C-alpha cells in the first residue's frame, strides 16, 4: 500500500506481510470471542 515503485519482490513481501497480518487479526478476534464466551459461561 506504500508508494514505493520497486520490483515484484517488494510486492511479494508486502503481500506476505498482509496475509500474516490478516491471520493475526483473525486469530485475535477468535481469541476475543472465546474469552467473551468463557466469561458468559462463568457469569
Q: CB-based burial of residue 16 (10 Å sphere; 0-12 exposed, 13-18 middle, 19+ buried)? A: exposed
Residue 3 domain-assigned (yes or no): no
Tell me the pLDDT band of 6, cut-offs 50, 70 and 90.
Answer: low
Instruction: Quote the pLDDT of residue 1.
Output: 55
Domain that holds residue 38: 8-43
Is residue 36 pLDDT above 70, yes or no? yes
Q: Could you give the number of structural domains in the chain?
A: 1
Instruction: Quote the pLDDT of residue 27.
Output: 97
Is residue 23 pLDDT above 60, yes or no? yes
Where do we find the cell 496475509?
19
CB atoms within 10 A of CB 11: 11
The whole-model pTM stands at 0.53
Q: Output 28 or 39, whichever has higher pLDDT.
A: 28
Residue 18 domain-assigned (yes or no): yes
Amino acid at each position: 500500500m506504500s508508494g514505493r515503485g520497486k520490483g515484484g519482490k517488494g510486492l511479494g513481501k508486502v503481500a506476505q506481510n498482509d496475509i500474516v497480518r490478516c491471520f493475526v487479526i483473525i486469530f485475535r478476534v477468535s481469541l476475543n470471542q472465546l474469552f467473551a464466551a468463557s466469561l458468559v459461561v462463568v457469569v
